[in-house]
């Protein structure tokens, strides 16, 4: 059984994945035993259902709750409420951001997995996002959202303006027959090329030879100022950002899978 001295020893070690796992497992086993023993004394309680007769059942029960169709935020708060109430004495030396992260990662990766979470104070959320706006995973879903949904809110004039930013490059490629032959590209005149550009997000990759990194920079520039960035992140990242209330403060849990590793 882990006690305060064990926890202190673990926290004095170099913080790595093994240390985090040992800490999380110790806290959760401590909480499990306290919950189990508490309910076992209550003749009306059925420990087969909760918390289960084994630690393995206990963790998988919580993991399944997180992965269920219920709101992720509620599941996290549910977990932390249990942990704080039954094992708070083990966490008096730990930054709440750390144990939110460590316990959550331990549970969701129990039995295998490598999901990581970024935990920030709510007041720092938009500052963090603004500073890391280039960390988006530049995948099809991101590009499609910008081009097919987000920009349509602004009307076609916006895409006309964006076309003006790259039309000079299209004109250069139209005149460069050697480049067309080398890259297997052909053009149908500037007006027709504009209609293609307006129709689909991947035109610069298909017709201008851009790679994904350049297209990503281009699309991030399209997002524009901080206000627009907040709007798009609220839409695109809403399933990956969750608020947790603990120790009289809000924390934001962000799934790292949204970002580049």
* pLDDT score of 184 more than 80: yes
pLDDT single digits (tens) 236-246: 556 677 788 87
Angle, in degrees to the nearest 10, between helices 55-67 and 72-87? 150
* Residues 70-76: contacts with CB under 8 Å, at least 24 apart: 72/239, 72/242, 73/242, 73/243, 73/244, 76/100, 76/104, 76/242, 76/244, 76/253
* pLDDT score of 14 more than 60: no
CA atoms within 13 A on the CB side of 69: 0
Q: Looking at residue 258, what is its pLDDT?
A: 66
Helix (H, G, I), strand (E, B) or coil at 142: helix
More confident residue, 250 or 71: 250
Q: Which of 11-15, 51-55, 127-131 has the lowest mean pLDDT?
A: 11-15
Confidence class of residue 71 from pLDDT cuts 50, 70 and 90?
low
Question: Largest alpha-carbon pair distance within the chain?
Answer: 85
pLDDT single digits (tens) 205-227: 999 999 988 988 888 777 765 56
The pTM (predicted TM-score) of the whole model is 0.65
Closest CA to 83 of 254, 249, 247, 259: 247
* pLDDT score of 69 more than 60: no
Residue carrying the six token digits 């189990």: 36
Q: Looking at residue 125, what is its pLDDT?
A: 74
Using CA atoms, how far apart are residues 240 and 198, in angstroms rounded to an integer? Answer: 30
pLDDT, mean of residues 107-112: 92
Q: Looking at residue 261, what is its pLDDT?
A: 46
Q: Looking at residue 229, what is its pLDDT?
A: 63
- 212: Cβ contacts below 8 Å, ≥ 6 apart: 138, 205
Residue 251, beta-bridge partner list: 121, 244
């Amino acid at each position: 059984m882990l006690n305060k001295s064990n926890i202190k020893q673990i926290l004095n070690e170099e913080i790595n994945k093994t240390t985090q796992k040992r800490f999380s497992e110790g806290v959760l086993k401590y909480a499990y035993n306290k919950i189990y023993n508490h309910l076992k004394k209550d003749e009306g309680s059925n420990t087969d259902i909760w918390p289960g007769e084994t630690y393995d059942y206990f963790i998988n029960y919580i993991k399944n709750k997180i992965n269920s169709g219920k709101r992720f935020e509620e599941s996290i708060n549910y977990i932390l409420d249990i942990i704080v109430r039954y094992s708070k004495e083990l966490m008096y030396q730990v930054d709440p951001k750390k144990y939110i992260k460590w316990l959550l990662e331990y549970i969701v990766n129990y039995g295998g997995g490598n999901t990581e979470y970024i935990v920030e104070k709510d007041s720092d959320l938009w500052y963090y996002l603004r500073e890391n706006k280039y960390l988006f995973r530049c995948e099809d879903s991101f590009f499609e959202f910008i081009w097919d949904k987000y920009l349509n809110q602004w009307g076609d004039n916006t895409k006309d303006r964006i076309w003006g930013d790259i039309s000079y490059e299209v004109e250069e490629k139209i005149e460069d027959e050697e480049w067309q032959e080398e890259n297997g590209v052909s053009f149908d005149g500037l007006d027709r090329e504009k209609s293609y550009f307006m129709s689909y997000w991947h035109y610069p990759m298909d017709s201008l030879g851009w790679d994904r990194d350049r297209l990503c920079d281009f699309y991030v520039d399209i997002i524009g100022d901080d206000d627009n960035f907040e709007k798009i992140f609220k839409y695109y990242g809403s399933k990956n950002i969750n608020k947790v209330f603990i120790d009289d403060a809000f924390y934001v849990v962000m799934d790292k899978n949204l970002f580049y590793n």
